[in-house]
């Protein structure tokens, strides 16, 4: 596929008719395998590609990438077909949503524990159909007038409640840390040390926390030292540059050094894009591949 074809199709209806037909042939001989040989398993967004979910997976594989993530994929109607295509092409699947919210209910309130358990149970069933092993949970909004200690205790107990079924499913549930300075004012779980504390309170290997590089740069900085410090408690990564939440190279984070630190810390699981790209998809994929060259 040449650059002119990509830029032409990226702007309009020709996307599906051109790339979709290529996907249906499952050949993609003209596509540059940009991601081949990367050490970091970067999950790209399927929304960057046209066609059906299965066709999107074919295109991700054609470009040499090995994973995708869409937090809402648990609700896709074609989960089984996506799982089969991923198994065929060696594509891994990142996290799906498993309960809690950013600005509302969450397991930091014991009154919501039953609701949370039900949500995780449904997410496990969806994850089995889709083929992912990672469940992303949100702790809820900070409860005014309730101490951090009490809320951490509530989230830790919620983790204990769901840990047996998460473990039985061979999955990992991760508590997501978010920044409150720019994007999510009022959210409860902010700092890496608190995410680490939650995993220790649950004391089950299937309960960890999600280190979102974008959010943690805003909340606390000191990225590489914190990744090294908490790597045993980290079960998943998200990333985007700061400021703007766009692709690497648009902000202040040196992603070559960050990805190198993640790799050298021994992490071999998925690192997922969670960003709004400002460039065409082919250029975006090249930027990601370049971050893995150190």
pLDDT of 82-115, one tens digit each?
A: 999 999 999 999 999 999 999 999 999 999 999 9
Domain ranges for the chain, please list them: 3-291
**Per-residue pLDDT at 11:** 33
Where is 81: in which H helix or E strand?
A: helix 79-89
- From the candidates 55, 197, 233, 274, give the one annotated as an active-site residue: 274
- In this prediction the pTM is 0.90
* Rounded Cα–Cα distance for residues 258 and 262 (Å): 6
- From the candidates 58, 69, 176, 233, give the one annotated as an active-site residue: 176
User: Phi and psi at residue 91, in whole multiples of 5°?
Assistant: -100, 130
**Per-residue pLDDT at 31:** 81
Choose from 2-11, 30-39, 181-190 the range with maximum mean pLDDT.
181-190
CATH number assigned to the domain with residue range 3-291, chosen from the 4 options 3.30.1380.10, 2.60.120.10, 3.40.50.1100, 3.20.20.150: 3.20.20.150
Judge whether 176 counts as a catalytic residue. yes
The 3-class secondary structure across 104-156, one letter per residue, is CCCCCCHHHHHHHHHHHHHHHHHHHHHCCCEEEECCCECCCCCCHHHHHHHHH
CB 205 within 8 A of CB 159: no
CB 287 within 8 A of CB 256: no
Which residue's structure tokens are 């071999």? 268
Judge whether 274 counts as a catalytic residue. yes
Radius of gyration of the chain (CA): 19
Closest by CA to 65, choosing from 289, 269, 293, is 289
Which residue's structure tokens are 């980290």? 234
Identify the band that residue 29 occupies on the pLDDT scale cut at 50, 70 and 90: low
């Amino acid at each position: 596929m040449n650059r002119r074809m990509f830029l032409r199709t990226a702007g309009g209806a020709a996307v599906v008719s051109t790339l979709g037909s290529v996907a249906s042939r499952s050949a993609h001989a003209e596509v540059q395998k940009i991601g081949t040989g990367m050490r970091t398993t970067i999950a790209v967004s399927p929304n960057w590609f046209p066609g059906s979910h299965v066709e999107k997976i074919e295109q991700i594989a054609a470009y040499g990438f090995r994973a995708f993530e869409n937090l809402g994929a648990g609700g896709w109607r074609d989960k089984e077909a996506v799982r089969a295509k991923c198994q065929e092409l060696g594509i891994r699947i990142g996290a799906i949503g498993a309960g809690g919210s950013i600005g509302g209910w969450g397991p930091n309130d014991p009154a919501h524990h039953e609701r949370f358990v039900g949500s995780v149970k449904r997410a496990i069933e969806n994850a089995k159909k889709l083929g992912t092993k990672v469940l992303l949970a949100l702790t809820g909004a900070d409860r005014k007038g309730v101490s951090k200690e009490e809320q951490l205790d509530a989230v830790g107990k919620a983790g204990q409640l769901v840990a047996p079924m998460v473990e039985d499913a061979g999955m990992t549930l991760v508590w997501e840390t978010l920044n409150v300075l720019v994007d999510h004012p009022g959210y409860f779980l902010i700092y890496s040390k608190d995410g680490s504390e939650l995993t220790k309170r649950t004391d089950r290997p299937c309960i960890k926390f999600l280190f979102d590089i974008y959010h943690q740069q805003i909340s606390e900085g000191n990225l590489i030292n914190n990744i090294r410090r908490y790597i045993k408690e980290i079960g998943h990564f998200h990333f985007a540059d700061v400021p703007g939440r766009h692709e690497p190279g648009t902000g202040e984070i040196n992603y070559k050094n960050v990805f190198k630190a993640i790799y050298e810390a021994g992490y071999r699981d998925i690192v997922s894009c969670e960003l709004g790209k400002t460039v065409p998809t082919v250029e975006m994929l090249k930027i990601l591949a370049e971050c893995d060259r150190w």
